[in-house]
């Protein structure tokens, strides 16, 4: 029987933190499966970069808020086709607004993508990893999931939920040799933070002891470490990568 390729699945892998995770894991020798919703060209560019360095990668369109779509994706693209070594739940979105003015749809869509979607992916991945008797699940939370943030009640609630999901799943799946951890980035230099005006950026920097925004690679290196054998005895933890920022 042919041995299946050891693979990492990165949701939302076309840009920002997801892109850095995909490229870093590819450089570590993992075959990379990454998903995207709208950014097909960017996702394919990530794959090309990984393959140009001798790695293997494929990109797939997947809306993780579609539970039936997630189940079908795992059945058709993952189960029996690869050895799913690591799931990185990274995909997410923001729709900010003060809570008294927040529209129901903005609440629902953010919770659907940022919490329901990761749960659906974790559930499907766990079924496969249990049969493999090994696996790593790494959920991307946020510093604001630990602290809250004005104007982001939906996003903060979802990212706090990710932490609870991580700890509960770690307790259920540990006996199956599956670790479940979360990474909580602080303010990272991505498309969202690049749009900040100079005054807002200055205020953020003043609150960070290291005096700079994080880079996507800072998060990616932490994910790669959690996926490695060196982190085999770590589960149920939230690793803060935030330059010392605590609100």
Which 3 state secondary structure label does DSSP give 89?
strand
Q: Among 117, 110, 67, which Cα is nearest to 87's?
A: 117
Alpha helices in the chain (DSSP H): 16-27, 40-52, 67-73, 104-111, 117-132, 143-147, 153-173, 191-194, 198-206, 216-227
Q: Tell me the C-alpha distance between 158 and 112, whole Å.
A: 9
Q: Over the stretch 112-134, which tens digit does the pLDDT of each residue have? A: 999 999 999 999 999 999 999 99
Statement: residue 204 has pLDDT above 90 = no
In tens, the pLDDT along 9-51 reads 999 999 999 999 999 999 999 999 999 999 999 999 999 999 9
Domain residue spans of the chain: 6-240
Strand partners, 184: 240
pLDDT at 2: 52
Confidence of residue 196 (pLDDT cuts 50, 70, 90): low
Count of all residues that appear for the chain in the document = 247
**212/219 Cα distance (integer angstroms):** 14
With tokens 């994910």, the residue in question is 223
Q: What's the CATH number of domain 6-240, 3.40.950.10, 3.40.47.10, 3.30.1300.10, 3.40.50.720?
A: 3.40.50.720
Q: Characterize the bridge pairing of strands 31-36 and 6-10.
A: parallel
Q: Is the pLDDT of residue 210 over 50?
A: yes
Residue 197 pLDDT more than 80?
no
Instruction: Please confirm, yes or no, whether 246 is among the known catalytic residues.
Output: no
Q: What is the pLDDT, as a whole number, of residue 193?
A: 66
Number of H helices, E strands in the chain: 10, 7
The residue ranking higher by pLDDT, 40 or 201, is 40
Residue 167 has pLDDT above 90, yes or no: yes
User: What is the Cα–Cα distance from 7 to 14, expressed in whole angstroms?
Assistant: 17
Residue 1 pLDDT grade (very low, low, confident, very high; cuts 50, 70, 90)? very low
- Cα gap 17→220, rounded to integer Å: 7
């Amino acid at each position: 029987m042919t041995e299946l390729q050891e693979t990492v699945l990165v949701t939302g892998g076309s840009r920002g933190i997801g892109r850095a995770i995909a490229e870093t894991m590819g450089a570590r020798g993992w075959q990379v499966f990454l998903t995207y919703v709208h950014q097909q060209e960017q996702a394919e560019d990530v794959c090309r970069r990984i393959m140009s360095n001798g790695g293997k990668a494929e990109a797939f369109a997947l809306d993780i808020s579609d539970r039936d779509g997630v189940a079908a994706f795992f059945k058709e693209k993952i189960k029996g086709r690869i050895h799913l070594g690591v799931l990185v739940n990274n995909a997410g979105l923001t729709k900010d607004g003060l809570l008294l003015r927040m529209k129901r749809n903005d609440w629902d869509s953010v919770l659907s993508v940022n919490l329901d979607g990761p749960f659906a992916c974790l559930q499907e991945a766990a079924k496969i990893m249990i049969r493999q008797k090994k696996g790593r699940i790494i959920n991307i939370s946020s510093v604001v999931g630990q602290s809250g943030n004005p104007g982001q009640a939906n996003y903060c609630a979802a990212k706090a939920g990710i932490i609870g999901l991580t700890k509960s799943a770690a307790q259920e799946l540990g006996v199956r040799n599956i670790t479940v951890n979360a990474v909580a980035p602080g303010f990272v230099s991505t498309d969202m933070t690049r749009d900040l005006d100079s005054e807002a950026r200055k205020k953020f920097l003043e609150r960070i002891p290291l005096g700079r925004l994080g880079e996507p690679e800072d998060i990616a290196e932490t994910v790669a470490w959690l996926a490695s054998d060196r982190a085999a005895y770590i589960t149920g933890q939230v690793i803060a990568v935030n330059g010392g920022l605590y609100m």
